[in-house]
C-alpha cells in the first residue's frame, strides 16, 4: 500500500507546473549558435529573410531562418510553410507539392517582427533529401499584407548540414 502511494506521489510531482522538463528538440540552442554564413535569401519590399544554416542531430534537421524588417511597419507572420516542389514550372502543367510539417519550431512565441528589428526562427523537421529537379521551399506569409518571403533550398545545401554537437 505504501509503495502505491509513493509511486502516485512521484508521478504527480513530475507533472507539477513550474517543474519544467527537458524539451525533446534543441531548437533554442540552435538559435543561439554563432552565424557562419548564408545558404539562401529573399527580399520583398524592405523585408528580408535569410536561411543562415542547416544543422542535423539524431535524424532531425534544424533550419535557422533570420527575418529582418527594414521598414517601420510591423510584419505580422501569418504562417510559415515548408514543402518540396518541382524546380521548373512549365506552362499548363500540373505541379506536385509535398508539404513537410515541422516537429518543433522556436521563435514564434510572438509571431511579429517589429519595425527596424529582426527575429530568428528555428524549425526542426524530420530528416529528408530532395530529388533531382525538385526544390525545398520555405514560405513566410504576412497576415493581411503582400510581403511574402520565399526561400529556395537545393538538395546540396541539405546534404551539407552541419552536425550539432
- Residue 75's pLDDT is 96
- Residue 23's pLDDT is 54
pLDDT in tens, the chain (165 residues): 444 433 333 333 343 333 333 457 998 999 888 888 788 888 988 999 999 999 999 999 999 999 999 999 999 999 999 999 998 777 777 778 999 999 999 999 999 999 999 999 999 999 999 998 899 999 999 999 889 999 999 999 999 999 998
- First-last CA distance in the chain: 46
- Residue 18's pLDDT is 36
Enter the pTM of the model.
0.80
For 159, the enclosing helix (H) or strand (E) is helix 155-159
Q: Say how far apart CA 63 and CA 61 lie, in whole Å.
A: 7
Of 71, 151, 150, the C-alpha closest to 117 is 71
What's the residue count for the chain?
165
Q: Which domains, ranges and CATH numbers included, belong to the chain?
A: 24-163 (2.60.40)
Asked whether 62 and 164 are in contact (CB, 8 A), the reply is: yes
- Residue 87's pLDDT is 85
Amino acid at each position: 500500500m505504501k509503495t502505491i502511494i509513493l509511486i502516485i506521489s512521484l508521478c504527480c510531482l513530475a507533472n507539477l507546473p513550474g517543474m519544467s522538463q527537458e524539451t525533446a528538440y534543441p531548437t533554442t540552442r540552435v538559435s543561439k549558435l554563432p552565424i557562419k554564413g548564408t545558404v539562401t535569401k529573399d527580399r520583398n519590399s524592405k523585408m528580408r529573410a535569410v536561411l543562415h544554416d542547416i544543422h542535423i542531430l539524431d535524424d532531425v534537421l534544424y533550419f535557422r531562418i533570420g527575418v529582418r524588417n527594414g521598414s517601420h511597419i510591423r510584419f505580422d507572420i501569418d504562417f510559415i510553410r515548408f514543402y518540396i516542389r518541382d524546380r521548373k514550372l512549365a506552362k499548363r502543367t500540373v505541379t506536385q507539392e509535398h508539404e513537410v510539417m515541422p516537429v518543433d519550431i522556436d521563435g514564434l512565441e510572438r509571431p511579429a517582427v517589429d519595425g527596424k528589428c529582426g527575429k530568428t526562427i528555428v524549425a526542426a523537421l524530420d530528416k529528408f533529401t530532395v530529388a533531382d529537379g525538385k526544390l525545398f521551399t520555405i514560405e513566410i506569409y504576412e497576415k493581411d499584407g503582400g510581403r511574402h518571403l520565399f526561400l529556395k533550398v537545393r538538395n546540396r545545401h541539405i546534404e551539407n548540414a552541419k552536425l550539432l554537437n
